[in-house]
A = this chain, B = another copy of it.
Amino acid sequence: MSFNFDEIDRRILKVLQRDGRISNIDLAKEVGLSPSPCLRRVRLLEEAGIIDRYVAVLDPTKVGAGLTVFARVWFKTQDAQVTLQFAEAVRRLPEVMECYLTTGECDAILRIVTADLHSYWRFQADHLTRIASVLNVKTDVPMETLKRSFELPLAL
């Protein structure tokens, strides 16, 4: 019993991904409904978990998180114990915005935000490489951001 959203739901999601704080009245106008059914659809999308949450997006450069880096991590071993330990450590580090386990070249990929290169080195030395699971870290430092989207593509 999966939630099947139609064209109107798709438009609602599209608008809310651009402006999560649009008033229901304006949202209704944009999707061609009156406010009542529009709000009901939004509530259903929320209850179904399709809309997970609403967040404010801050400008990283203006809150001291201007540098995004990608770190590829190699574990000492690949057993569950080591992985779990790594997961818990990573969840406690607010600088780590995303963390994925891979089976490819490396064991984990992290997106990390800090103020600048200096504070990143400190972060890597003081926190990342000190996680017991970690054998090796290789860092890619972006020079420029070409794109940063918050809008998932909505297939229909």
Interface residues of A (CB under 8 A from B): 2-3, 13, 16-21, 48-60, 62-65, 68, 70, 72, 86-87, 90-91, 94-106, 108-109, 111, 113, 115, 139-155
Q: How many copies of this chain?
A: 2
Known: A51-B57, A109-B140. A99 touches B145 (CB 8 A): yes
Chain B, residue nearest A149 (CB): B97
Chain B residues with Cβ below 8 Å from A95 are 153
How long is the Cα–Cα vector from A98 to B111 in the complex, in angstroms? 11
Chain B residues with Cβ below 8 Å from A65 are 152-153, 155
Chain B residues with Cβ below 8 Å from A57 are 51-55, 150
Q: A109's contact among B3, B101, B142, B148, by CB below 8 Å, is which?
A: B142
How long is the Cα–Cα vector from A108 to B143 in the complex, in angstroms? 9
Structural contact, B102 and A19, CB atoms closer than 8 A: no
Q: A20's contact among B56, B70, B115, by CB below 8 Å, is which?
A: B56
Q: How far is the CB of A119 from chain B (nearest CB, A)?
A: 9
Chain B residues with Cβ below 8 Å from A50 are 58-59, 62-63
Known: A70-B109, A152-B60. A100 touches B20 (CB 8 A): no
Q: A17's contact among B18, B56, B90, by CB below 8 Å, is which?
A: B56
